Amino acid sequence: MRKTVAAIGIFDGVHLGHRKIIRAAVRAAKRNRGRSVVITFDPHPLKVLRPHKPIPSIMSTAHRVRLICGLGAGACSVIRFTRKFSHLKPRDFVRKILVGKFRVSQLFVGADFVFGKDNAGDTALLKRLGREYGFKVTVVPMVKAGGRIVSSTAIRNLIVTGKLKEASRMLGRPVTVFGTVVSGSRRGRLLGYPTANIDPHHEAIPPSGVYAVRVRFGSKRFAGALFIGPRSTFGEKEPVIEAHIFDFRSMIYGEDIEVTFVKRLRGVKKFASRERLVEEIRKDDAKARRILSRER
């Protein structure tokens, strides 16, 4: 039987630190002619353990798995995290999951990895149990970017406060919104600027405003402008996320798209008339096109 080399963690965001852990496991599996497996969880444990104070996810589980597999992992296994699962004691977690289910021969974790009921297990205990059950544990040190330790918590805070360059530096890629195109009020079409209304698959969303963006649909990428926030000119209070994709006419309701943030153009404004709004959208459109033409 081929040896199983695993990396385990929540990996929300698949940031630079996560990538270091996963790539180390993939390299070790290749050296030992084993198979690499990345073990992750859904939903985020804190959503189960602290439902009154849920954390905003950086990305959906499907998006996370896609990025993990893109790093060369042979397989990605998603464990359903439940209250019952959270009651597993550290030793039982190792015996039943790591050894019984995955038969790991080597395990890679981050320095802050904890496991078992009440997070009673840390990396020191994991190493001791690894020796007992016959697998090696490698603890991968924290990664820094811009002088700061890279973490999912830091990235969430940077995204929701609009510090997208700093968040991108920690992610190792641009900040994006990934979601499904849904039917909206069609006001954009009536104004001459049709938009794709996005139902996001995650909760960590940049602040309200207008942004120059790139939009990925299938294998193609397009330039565009994205609006986030309430449509206050029309007296609406519920925030929306809608993308005006330049020179695009296809109907894509029900399709998934990914929007990459390039630059924030302005904040949300309430306009005195529809005509003033259209005038401002026209300016946003032209500014976004200029910015994106320089970004190619």
In the three-class reduction of DSSP (H, G, I as helix; E, B as strand; rest coil), residue 181 is classed as strand
Share of the chain above pLDDT 90, in %: 80
Spatial contact of 158 and 167, defined as CB atoms under 8 Å apart: yes
Domain range annotation of the chain: 4-152, 175-295
pLDDT tens track for 48-80 = 999 888 789 999 999 999 999 999 999 999 999
CATH architecture of 175-295: Beta Barrel (2.40)
Q: pLDDT by residue (tens digit) across 75-125?
A: 999 999 999 999 999 999 999 999 999 999 999 999 999 999 999 999 999
Who contacts 272 (Cβ-Cβ below 8 Å, separation ≥6)?
Answer: none
52 contacts: CB under 8 Å, gap ≥ 6: none
- Long-range contacts of residues 43-48, Cβ cutoff 8 Å, at least 24 apart: 43/81, 44/10, 44/12, 44/81, 45/10, 45/81, 45/86, 48/81, 48/82, 48/83, 48/86
Judge whether 6 and 38 are in contact, CB under 8 Å: yes
Beta strands in 69-152 (DSSP E): 75-80, 104-110, 136-140, 144-145, 148-149
**CA proximity to 242, closest of 223, 255, 254, 227:** 227
Nearest partner of 188 among 145, 140, 134, 224, judged by Cα? 224
**Residue 76 near residue 99 (C-beta atoms within 8 A):** no
Cis-peptide, bond into residue 43, ω within 30° of zero: yes
Is residue 185's pLDDT more than 70? no
The CATH code belonging to domain 4-152 is 3.40.50.620
pLDDT at 195: 84
| Nearest CA among 205, 212, 210, 206 for reference residue 263 | 212
Burial of 275 (0-12, 13-18, 19+ CB in 10 A): exposed
CA triple 173-285-177, angle to 5 deg: 30
Tens of pLDDT along 251-293?
889 999 999 999 999 998 877 677 888 888 899 999 999 999 9
Rounded Cα distance, 167 and 59, in Å? 13
Mean pLDDT on 152-161: 97
Q: State residue 143's pLDDT score.
A: 97
pTM of structure: 0.91
CA distance 182 to 198: 6
CB count within 10 Å of CB 136 equals 14
